[in-house]
Structure 1
Amino acid sequence: MIKVTDFDLRLLRVFKTVSDCGGFSAAESALNMNLSTISTHMADLEARLGIRLCERGRRGFRLTDEGHSLYRAAERLLESVEVFRTDIGEIRGQISGELAIGVVDNTITDAQSHIARAIGMLKQQSRDLEIRLEIKSPREIEAGVLERKLHLGIGPFRDAQPGLTYEPLYREELQLFCGAGHSLFALAPADVDLKDLTHIDYVARGYLRETKEFGILINPKVAATVFHMEAVATLILSGKFVGYLPTHYAQHWVRQDLMRSLRPDRLTHHAEFRLVTRKDREATVAARAFLDALRNGVSRE
């Protein structure tokens, strides 16, 4: 029987991070360790357990069958350790442990988003709590919550995934924008003929590629596909593309007359922002405190 020590837990955390990142080099930043230290830790773990955990070579990094089995066991163990830390904090009347939150990019300029305020209120209650805030696409957030890598997520999710619970938070307004130098810029916002929007070069977000996003546009020509809001803004500012941006996010460039909305009377649409959690995962004390602060902020709108 193996006695699990603090050092073993450290090795298992390194192993799990390396597995999640898909390799030693990719895990350097996440672990804040150099490659040789990661290699040493992995070798120590293999020696400790007496099994080969992974293969490295020209075909890349991959876990062995034993490595996959250990990954699942380590995931359960590390989660139970985190639950234990949280329970101890609760017994002592403290909020402790880690809170992992996933959120889509560029929500900070939205007055309806109370994430920063909720985190501030939470940290005011506990200095020991470790916050992990990750910027991800909606699909990545849902996957992170399902895989127990995130406690909760916030974003515009298209379809409800089995095993997840969705709670409405607020609606984000989006408008179609063009940049200075675009052929439609001088006519924007109100004098643009909708027929002129047919076959224009459009930049789409990869995780929202759907006809509904185009509103009443007919046959938009998707000339670029990106996965981050900043990339949409960059292409719009080139003067060669049009694309949808949240109204709050675009205001920085609108005020400088570098962007203009195209027919907001007809082309404005909204994204429903929701809070996502895993159905079968009981919320930790930290998660409950964060959610209370978040909901209170939203309810005041």
Structure 2
Amino acid sequence: MIKMTDFDLRLLRIFKTVTDCGGLSAAESALNMNLSTISTHIADLESRVGIRLCERGRRGFRLTVEGSSLYQATEKLLDSVEEFRAGLGALRHQLSGELTIGIVDNTITDQHSHIATAIRAVKQRSGDLHIKLEIKSPVEIEEAIQERRLHVGIGPFRNVSPGLTYEPLYTEELHLYCGKEHPIFASAPMDVEMDNLRELDYVARGYMREAKEWIDASRIKVAATVYHMEAVAVLVLSGKFVGYLPTHYAAQWVQQQLMRPLRPDVLSHHAAFSLVTRKDREPTLAVQVFVEALRADLSARITS
């Protein structure tokens, strides 16, 4: 591959996505392609560059030494292309290129989350801007920011990574809930004994570790572990588990008397949401507009 064409860039993007996903099969949904098509594209790229890029087959997916070097070069090339598109748009006073945003699941019902408003502000000024909005866990968001796969992320981050910048946005209130079919549902929320709660089957979110909010975490029976808020709600509604949910998200089931909080006087807690970006990555105009819109909403809430 001596001359770079649009087709070459497409093959490189496919190669990068396959590597990021950890294999051809894992990349099918991300690329919206079937396995044979992806395999053909990778073979085409290998033919054009004249080197074996990866081992693939029954033993799994693994980059060769040359493939690893090409992957790193591909990252730099695609970043440069993206920066060029964004820079050209800025010269024309338009938002161009791509804006990639990562958020945690089920924030849409939170009145403090103004992500949709910020996206509207971006689109009102956009030219040919392409927006990618991905739902991920906080750890996945941080990893994607570090690896330049996301421009910005929003979520409850418990640890601080040295290469990232965290800007506080708002807090989310969470209560411990049980479902209508649970034996303890009939009890008054404030009358439930703590010792009784500690004997119940608890569903934990793998990335939040809310259990440590309890006084005696060692006695909590973690009977299920999930990584999405909807999964917590499903298990709570089954009547067999108790679990933490944001009050804004659980409100729909509370209103229908399908859920109720347990001991909100002592078991409520808050998750602090932050905006995270990479320290050494110059923000594009689209990122600046998006962040400024979020800051404006935050300022309006504080002054109102």
TM-score with structure 1 setting the length: 0.96
Alpha-carbon shift at residue 215 of structure 1 (Å): 5.4
AA partner of residue 161 (structure 1): S
Q: Distance in 1 between matches of 2:167 and 2:291?
A: 11
Match of 2:269 in 1: 269
Q: 1:236 corresponds to which residue? A: 236
Distance 2:127 2:251 in 1: 35
Q: How does 1:190-209 map to 2 (within 5 A)?
A: 190-209=190-209
Please tell me whether residue 11 in structure 1 is matched to residue 5 in structure 2. Answer: no
Over the aligned positions, Cα root-mean-square deviation in angstroms equals: 1.5
Change over 3 Å in CA distance of 1:48–1:237 after alignment to 2: same
Contact 2:17 2:31 survives alignment (8 Å): yes
Question: What whole-Å deviation, never above 9, does each CA across 1:139-165 have from its counterpart, x for those lacking one?
Answer: 000000001110010000001011011
Secondary structure of the corresponding residue to residue 43 of structure 1? helix
1:1-301 matched pairs, under 5 angstroms: 2-209=2-209, 211-214=211-214, 219-301=219-301
Aligned mates of 2:57, 2:181 — CA distance in 1: 50
Change in 2 beyond 3 A, CA 1:40/1:214 = same
Q: Is the Cα contact below 8 Å between 2:56 and 2:62 reproduced in 1?
A: yes
Mapped to 1, the partners of 2:252 and 2:32 lie a distance apart of 35
> What is the one-letter code of the residue matched to 2:271?
A
Please give the per-residue CA displacement for 1:46-82, whole angstroms capped at 9, x wherever unaligned: 1111100011121111111111110000000000100
- Secondary structure, aligned partner of 2:219: coil
Moved more, 170-179 or 37-46: 37-46
Task: Letter of the 2:151 partner, please give it.
Answer: H
> 1:198 Cα deviation (Å)?
2.1
* CA–CA separation in structure 2 for the residues paired with 1:14 and 1:157: 30
Tell whether the 8 Å contact from 1:215 to 1:267 is kept in structure 2 after alignment: no
Aligned equivalents of 2:177, 2:68: Cα separation in 1: 47
Letter in 2 for 1:13: R
Q: Which amino acid letter does the alignment assign opposite residue 120 of structure 1?
A: R
SS in structure 1 opposite 2:57? coil
Give a deviation string over 1:7-32, Cα, whole Å, max 9, x none. 21111111111111222222222222
Q: CA deviation at 1:259?
A: 0.3
Deviation per residue, 1:179-213 (Å, 9 max, x gap): 11212111132221222212211111001125533
Deviation, 1:36, is: 3.0
Compared CA separation, residues 218 and 28, structure 1 to 2 (3 A): closer
Greater mean alpha carbon deviation, residues 142-151 or residues 212-221: 212-221
For 2:188 and 2:293, how far apart are their aligned partners in 1? 40
The one-letter amino acid paired with 1:275 is: L
Percent identity of equivalent pairs: 69
CA distance in 1, matches of 2:14, 2:57: 20
User: 1:34: how far off?
Assistant: 3.0
Alpha-carbon distance between aligned partners in 2 of 1:143 and 1:80, rounded to the nearest angstrom = 20
Does the 8 Å CA contact 1:144/1:150 hold for their aligned counterparts?
A: yes
User: 1:96 and 1:213 mapped to 2: Cα distance?
Assistant: 44
Structure 1 Cα separation of the partners of residues 89 and 275 of structure 2:
25
* Deviation for aligned residue 1:88: 0.3
**How many correspondences in the alignment?**
301
Aligned AA (2:248):
H
Task: Say which is worse superposed, 53-62 or 254-263, in terms of deviation.
Answer: 53-62
Q: 1:183 to 1:206 in 2, by over 3 A?
A: same
Please state whether the residue corresponding to 1:173 is helix, strand or coil: strand
The separation in 2 between residues aligned to 1:222 and 1:251, in whole angstroms, is 24
Compute the displacement of 1:286 (Å). Answer: 0.5
Deviation track 1:204-234 (CA, whole Å, cap 9, x = no partner) reads 1001125533356672111111111011111
Q: Is the 8 A contact 2:210 2:244 kept in 1?
A: no
SS in 1 for 2:186: helix
Contact 1:188–1:260 (8 Å) recurs in 2: no
Gaps of 5+ in 1: none
- The Cα of 1:175 is off from its aligned counterpart by 0.4
Question: Residues 99 and 131 of structure 2 are in contact (CA less than 8 Å); yes or no, is this contact kept in structure 1?
Answer: yes
3-state SS of paired residue (2:282): coil
